[in-house]
Amino acid sequence: MVTPSSLPSLLPPFAAIVVAAGKGLRVGGETPKQFRMLRGKPLVRWSVEALSHAGADLLVVVIAPDAEAEAATALAGIAGLQLVTGGATRQDSVRAGLEALAMFAPERVLIHDAARPDLPRDVIARLLAALDNVRGAIPALPVVDSIAIADAAERMAGKAARETLRRVQTPQAFRFADILAAHRSWRGAPDAGDDAQVLMASGGSVTLIQGDERLRKITFAEDFADMSAAPAFRIGQGYDVHRLEAGEELWLGGVLIPHDKGLAGHSDADVALHAITDAVLGAVGEGDIGTHFPPSDPQWRGARSGRFLEHAVSLARAAGYAIANVDLTLICEAPKIGPHRPAMRAEVARLMAVGEDAVSIKATTTEKLGFTGRGEGIAAQAIVLVTRAS
Ligand code: MG
């Protein structure tokens, strides 16, 4: 089977045109969407860099007539790039890009929309490989939803068989001479369709190759918000120590454990829950347990630490994250943790509102070394992964 990693690392030479001439106002705001920031870069820069890194030796970005300064800033430092002024329609803009490349007569060209920032290298490789045998190749995906045909009043007028339908993406790949000739001879409406249709109108055939969901197009403001939001994963760690003293209750992981000593502290001193709470707060950059529950505040005297953890989880949720998993290590000579692990695991899962399979509780001694080895205290460390809630 051909997997992405087994594709040859060297692609055949190709030219690329990125169309970034639209007004892109459906996303809202003053700046056309191709120049708006997405994950720290202007939108258009993502796909131009992807094409450059994949080895495009001629790279044209087609822009609106008044966008030169914006485009130069957005694409600063990318070698071998040519900015070309586009026309009133997408067809005109692609034609302008092709004409700018004509004097170099490249063999293959990829034509891409700037609104699709995530351009996997294996899609580029599949398209270029297909051009060995055909004049045009485009990425396409199956339709998984059923399809309704709507009338003008937005009533269902019929159904279409989704088995024969495909969602078409860009980049679209062509033998350069064929797509240039097809555009030059195009007599259809200026905004009639994509480059594959232009090639077909001139008698060329177009092969569908496997597309990629990552190539999704940014169209609406909410797409932009989704894709520019905080990272999909964040991670946090927490560490805590409390003293063991006679006459105290021993709370660990939200469970009362019979033992000749207990942990001393302002709250119930549950070192396990404190470490997990700090890990959750750390994952979402919300300070530490002392920020939210200062020991100087009398209302937390003797408080059950489960409240701290529940609060931290609610802050993570408010920041748009769900708990993926937690891994806790308790460090002590005694008591033995094993017999209490199932109860602690169940309680931590309940407090964090996750399944028990998302909670790991481990324990170790320090071979009688140090304060934990001498039984003076218990230490705990925790790590928590959070994922962006969709
Ligand atoms: Mg503590």
Question: What domains appear along the chain, each with residue ranges and CATH number?
Answer: 15-227 (3.90.550.10), 233-388 (3.30.1330.50)
Tell me the CA–centroid distance for residue 42 and ligand 1, in Å: 44
The more confident residue out of 4 and 389 is: 389
For residue 323, the model assigns a pLDDT of 96
Q: What is the dihedral of CA 218, 110, 206, 135, to 10 degrees?
A: 180
pLDDT 10s digits, 123-143: 999 999 999 999 999 999 999
pLDDT reading at 383 higher than 80: yes
Burial 13-30 (b: 16+ CB within 10 A, else e): ebbbbbbbbbebeebeee
> Tens digit of pLDDT for each residue in 52-96?
999 999 999 999 998 999 999 999 999 889 999 998 888 999 999
In degrees, rounded to 5, the angle at the alpha carbon of residue 328 between the alpha carbons of residues 326 and 333 is 170
What is the 377 CA–ligand 1 centroid distance (Å)? 12
Amino acid type, 240 = D
Amino acid present at 169: Q
| pLDDT tier at 28, thresholds 50, 70, 90 | low
Give the Å distance between the CA of 242 and the centre of ligand 1: 6
Rounded to whole angstroms, the Cα distance separating 348 from 359 reads 7
Cis-peptide, bond into residue 139, ω within 30° of zero: no
Number of residues written out for the chain: 390
Q: What is the pLDDT of residue 218?
A: 86
| Residue 361 DSSP code | E
Confidence of residue 24 (pLDDT cuts 50, 70, 90): low
Q: Write down the pLDDT at residue 231.
A: 78
* CA dist 6 → 2, 9, 122, 213, 218 (Å): 6, 8, 10, 21, 30
pLDDT for the residue 41: 85
For the beta carbon of residue 181, count every other beta carbon within 10 angstroms: 15
Residues of the chain with pLDDT > 70: what percent? 92
Please tell me the distance between residue 241's alpha carbon and the centre of ligand 1 in angstroms.
6
Can you tell me the mean pLDDT for 45-54?
Answer: 94
Distance 322 CA to ligand 1 centre (A): 24
Q: Which residue has the higher pLDDT, 169 or 37?
A: 169
Distance CA 5, CA 123 (A): 12
Neighbours of ion ligand 1 (CB under 5 A): 240, 274
pLDDT bucket at 192, cuts 50 / 70 / 90: low
How far does the centroid of ligand 1 lie from the alpha carbon of residue 348, in Å? 16
Distance in Å, CA 188 to ligand 1 centroid:
73
When the pLDDT of each residue in the chain is averaged and rounded to a whole number, the result is: 90
Note the pLDDT of residue 5.
47
CA–centroid distance, 287 to ligand 1, in Å, is 14
- Model pLDDT for residues 206-243, shown as the tens digit of each residue: 999 999 998 998 876 666 665 555 678 999 999 999 99
The rounded Å distance from CA 370 to ligand 1 centre is 19
